[in-house]
Amino acid sequence: MVVFGEYIRNTTKKTIRIMFVGIYQGTRDTLLPLLDQKFPKLGVTREICEEIRSIQSTLVFWGLPSSTPIEILTNRSSIDKWNNKTISGHRSPISGLRKIWRKFFENDESTLLMINPFGGKMADFPETEISYPHRGGVLETVNFFGQPSNTTPTSLKSIAWLQSLENLLTPYVSKNPREVYANYVDLD
């Protein structure tokens, strides 16, 4: 699930837009009845489900159309680079979403929240089989991304906002120690 704070068209009012992105390793014909049974309020239709090859999902998750030639993945200079500040946490279950939504309205910069479900399945795999520290009881990882472009006052304001968001998130995520996804190093 990807969450954006954005302005409502032709107004100065903000709203929260939620986008569900996922990979299902099967056909639309087997997915749609399952979604209809488990998540009927989503109203997923055949027209918005796209069947693509696994490698194409990399393009989609990078924000590119699935029709983009996969050769683009071999050319580092063809994909825009962007600075980002990421905060992460693991929680089961997450609460406090209303506070987080309100916090989104305070920021005018490009920020998004991703909630990646684990489905509670990681505890089923022995640590000797899959090296992954976030196991029993962890249902999702929560990631906030901000895109400060440089050290301008606007970018510094964006970083300060993300730090205040991280403080807001603290009661709702793991602590002592705070779990984060591998390779996230907070340098500020």
CATH number at residue 101: 3.40.462.20
Specify if 47 maps to a domain. no
Q: Quote the number of domains for the chain.
A: 1
Specify if 115 maps to a domain. yes
Judge whether residue 36 has pLDDT over 90: yes
- Segment among 28-42, 72-86, 118-132 with least mean pLDDT: 118-132
Give me the domain span that covers residue 173: 82-188
Determine the Cα–Cα distance for residues 17 and 2; give it in Å rounded to an integer.
8
Specify if 4 maps to a domain. no
Query: What pTM, to 2 d.p., does this model score?
Result: 0.59
pLDDT band at 81 (very low <50, low <70, confident <90, very high): low
- C-alpha dist (Å) from residue 42 to 23, 34, 35, 104, 175: 16, 12, 8, 23, 33
Asked if residue 115 lies in contact with residue 142, where contact means CB atoms within 8 angstroms, the answer is yes
Total length of the chain: 188
State the average pLDDT over residues 111-124.
68
* Cβ neighbours of 64 (radius 10 Å): 15
